[in-house]
Structure formats: C-alpha cells, structure tokens
Chains A and B, each alone.
Chain A
Amino acid sequence: MNLFGRIRRRKMTSREIAKERLRLVLVQDRFKVPSKFLEDVKEAMLLSVDRYLEVDREGVEINLNRKDKYHVLVASIPIKGIKRKAG
C-alpha cells in the first residue's frame, strides 16, 4: 500500500505506523484475503466516484471496522469539487 509513500511525505510516528500496519493485517486475518484487497476495493470505488466528483486521491482512506457481529466498510473520500458535465 502507500504506507511507505506516506512515511516519506510526512514523518509518521511509530504509533501511526503501528496503527496502519494493524489495520492492514487485520483485514487479511479477518477475511483471509491478500494484502492488496483493500487497495483494489479503493480503486474500484474511486473509479465510480470519479465520474461525478473531483477527488483528492492522496487523502482517501478506506477501512473495514468491526461493529458488533458485522464489519463495516468505511470510506473517507475528500472532495475537491463536483464535476459538472452534460448527461
């Protein structure tokens, strides 16, 4: 993922690195999916949102959080603007 890119951009604290690593490894553990699974979900979502909105791709965050017995997909997609196009 863009973990290492982020470290270069803004120096992450070891706490932040731990949190990000945990999030990623828990998605693999909970769903038995490869590590790039969330990255794929993110790309697919951006592809559809991209038609209507101008997105700040760097700031996109996608997480799978546990809520009671279920998991919730939480996407935070910063918007720069709305694409106004005919049709």
Chain B
Amino acid sequence: MEAKVITITSGKGGVGKTTATANIATALAMAGNTVVALDADIGLRNLDVMMGLENRIVYDLVDVVEKRCRLRQALIRDKRFPNLFLLPAAQTRDKSAVQPADLIRVCEELRPEVNFILIDSPAGIEHGFHTALAPADEVLVITTPEVAAVRDADRVIGLIEAQEKGPVKLIINRIKPEMVAKGDMLTVEDVLEILAVDLVGIVPEDTSIIVSANKGVPVVLDHSSPSGQAFKNIASRLLGKEVPFMELKGRENILDRLSKLFRFQ
C-alpha cells in the first residue's frame, strides 16, 4: 500500500472542514479502504467529537512528534469500522508544536500501512495551514456560496498553487436550493467561474448534519440524508469513479415541474 495524503482546508473557519474530513474519511472506510483521519488543528481539536471518539484519546499528534509514544499507540480505532483510525490533535498546545517536517515524517510512517490519510487543516493561512499542507498529495478546498467564504477560498487556492500543491479540488458546502432558485444565493456555476478550479462535490444544506454532530455519528451513516449521500459521492470521486453531481432543485422548481405535469397552466 502507498497511501494518498489529502488535506482539507478552507481559509475561512466554520465552512465545514471538520465535518467534511470526518465524513469523507468514514465514506472511504465504508468502501473498504484503510483510512487515517488526522486532526492538524492543534489547540482546537474537533475531529474527535465529530467522529464520536473523544472519550478514547490517550495520546495525540504532539505526543507522537515529541516521542512520548509510538505512532501506533496514538491511533484510535473507530467504533464502527475497524479500518478507520483517528490521529487526534493535542488540545493543550498551540500550532507551533508541530512543524511541517514533523507532519511529513508522521505521514511517511503511515503511508505503507494505509490507503488514505485525510488531514483536517486549521482555519487561517498561518503556520498551522502550512503544516497541514506540507505532506499533501492532493488538496481539497471547501467553501460555502457566500462572499466571505469564496474570497478566503480564492486566497488559499493561490497559496496552494504557489506551493505547487495544485490543482486544487473544490467542495461547495451548504447550498440552499430554494435560495438559489430565488436568485438569493451564488450558484455552483458562479463559484466555479470565479475560482476556476475543478469541482469534486456539492453538498446541500441539511439539518441532519447538526443531529449527526450532536450524536458524534458521521452523517454518511444516515442513509436518508442528502448531505450524507453528497459526501459518499465525493469519496467515490476520490476513488476515481465517475459519479454525476447531485441535482439540487429548489421548491419552486418542483412546483413548476408539478404544474407542468398536470397542465395547470
């Protein structure tokens, strides 16, 4: 095995990096791959709670880097999938505790053992972002269809390309089809036109994300959830499968279609 290292980043905080990392990692594991989800957000770890593994942490990434434990001891096996592991961030330290060379070394040690390493990057464009980027073979940038998020995505895409880590793949998260239909939200096409990068996924706004975060169960395990399906589609695309992008229709469109169907007009 020779793992592919994929870093998930965004620039702006709160657009769904950690949720995306937990869900794509779980979906890749569901498809039979051995996966490590690595939390590079030192000091503000959250991947553990998203995956429902917060009570099992003994050692963390900083313990590994500072050689207080072996890498294997810090890996936490997922509750449901024996081929999914979490490497948690330290909560009591800051971003400078892990250097880019440290993360490259950790990933090199993991590479022969697993299929995928997914790195959850901290927000921002400072030290922690550069560390999370250092071992990446591929970078996913996640944004929402809002001016501030797209602006920050543009900034990180520029930085990623300058470091020869491109081409970036884009996830557009939290699309509200009803607002798009009303002309009150940037469309997928608008965002792609502005950022000029390849799309790897579109994820609809979905209340089941909040429920899943409450429970610490990734939404890909909820088979009725549209966002869960969207994350599974992203995992399939990362595995090289061609999956059509979800059609996100607003309510107005459905009514339009119904009225056409029954020839009301």
List residues of chain A with CB under 8 Å of any chain B CB: 13-16, 18-19, 21-23, 25-26, 29-30, 65-69
Q: Is B2's beta carbon under 8 Å from chain A?
A: no
In the assembled complex, 19 residue pairs joining A and B whose CB atoms fall closer than 8 Å, in A order, are A13-B183, A13-B184, A15-B183, A15-B186, A15-B187, A16-B183, A18-B147, A19-B186, A19-B194, A21-B147, A22-B151, A22-B186, A25-B147, A26-B151, A26-B154, A29-B154, A29-B155, A30-B158, A65-B193
Residue of B nearest to A30 (CB): B158
With an 8 Å Cβ cutoff, the count of chain B residues facing the other chain is 21
User: Do B196 and A66 touch (CB < 8 A)?
Assistant: yes
Shortest Cβ gap from A7 to chain B (Å): 14
Given the complex, which residues of B lie within 8 Å of A15, measured CB to CB?
A: 180, 183-187, 190
Contact A22 B184 (CB under 8 A): no
Instruction: Report the separation of the CA atoms of residues A9 and B185 in the bound assembly, to the nearest whole angstrom.
Output: 21
Asked if A19 and B190 sit within 8 Å, CB to CB, the answer is: yes
Question: Would A22 and B158 be within 8 Å (CB), given that A14-B184, A15-B186, A15-B190 are in contact?
Answer: no
Identify 15 new A-B residue pairs, CB closer than 8 A, beyond the known A15-B185, A18-B146, A25-B151.
A13-B182, A13-B183, A13-B184, A14-B183, A15-B180, A15-B184, A18-B186, A19-B186, A22-B147, A22-B151, A22-B186, A22-B194, A26-B151, A26-B194, A30-B154
Q: Give the dominant DSSP class at B's interface.
A: helix
B247 to chain A, nearest CB (A): 19
Closest to B195 in A: A66
9 tightest CB-CB pairs across the interface, nearest first? A13-B183, A66-B196, A15-B183, A14-B184, A18-B147, A19-B190, A18-B186, A26-B154, A22-B147
Give min CB distance, B254 to chain A, whole Å.
Answer: 20
Instruction: Report the nearest A residue to B194, measured CB to CB.
Output: A22
CB distance from B152 to the nearest CB of A (A): 10
> Could you mark each residue 115-159 of chain B with 1 if its beta carbon is under 8 Å from any beta carbon of chain A, else 0?
000000000000000000000000000000011001100110010
B147 lies within 8 A of A29 (CB): no
Q: List, in ascending order, chain A residues with CB within 8 A of B256's CB.
A: none
Q: Which residues of A contact B187 (CB under 8 A)?
A: 15
B183 touches A22 (CB 8 A): no
Smallest beta-carbon distance B180→chain A, Å: 8
Separation of A19 and B185 alpha carbons in the complex (Å): 10
Docked complex Cα distance between A66 and B190 (Å): 13
